[in-house]
Amino acid sequence: MRSPLSTAIAIATGLLILVALILPFPWLQEIRTILLAPAIILTGVAGLIAIYNLLAVHGRKMVASQERDIYSFFLLLGFLVTFIAGLILTPANPQFQHVVTSIQVPVEASLMGVLAVSLAYASVRLFQRRKGIMGFFFILSAVVFLVISSGFLSIGRNLPVFQNVLSIVEQLPVAGGRGILLGIALGGLTAGIRILLGADRPYSG
Q: For residue 164, tell me if it sits in a domain.
A: no
Q: For residue 2, tell me if it sits in a domain.
A: yes
Q: For residue 8, tell me if it sits in a domain.
A: yes
Q: Average pLDDT in the 69-77 region?
A: 87
Q: For residue 51, tell me if it sits in a domain.
A: yes
Q: For residue 103, tell me if it sits in a domain.
A: no
- pLDDT at residue 153, as a whole number: 65
- pLDDT at residue 113, as a whole number: 80
Considering the chain, what percentage of its residues have pLDDT values greater than 90?
10
Query: How many structural domains comprise the chain?
Result: 1
Q: Quickly list DSSP for the chain.
A: ---HHHHHHHHHHHHHHHHHHHS--HHHHHHHHHHHHHHHHHHHHHHHHHHHHHHHHHHHHHH-SSS--HHHHHHHHHHHHHHHHHHHH-TT-HHHHHHHHHHHHHHHHHHHHHHHHHHHHHHHHHHHHS-SHHHHHHHHHHHHHHHHHHTTTSGGGGSHHHHHHHHHHHTHHHHHHHHHHHHHHHHHHHHHHHHHHTS--GGG-
pLDDT value at 160 more than 50: yes
pLDDT digits (tens, 9 = 90+) for 15-49: 888 888 888 888 888 888 888 888 889 889 999 99
Q: Average pLDDT in the 106-111 region?
A: 88
Q: For residue 169, tell me if it sits in a domain.
A: no
- pLDDT at residue 1, as a whole number: 47
- pLDDT at residue 45, as a whole number: 94
Q: For residue 99, tell me if it sits in a domain.
A: no
Q: For residue 44, tell me if it sits in a domain.
A: yes
For residue 44, give its domain range: 1-65
With cut-offs at 50, 70 and 90, classify the pLDDT of residue 68.
confident
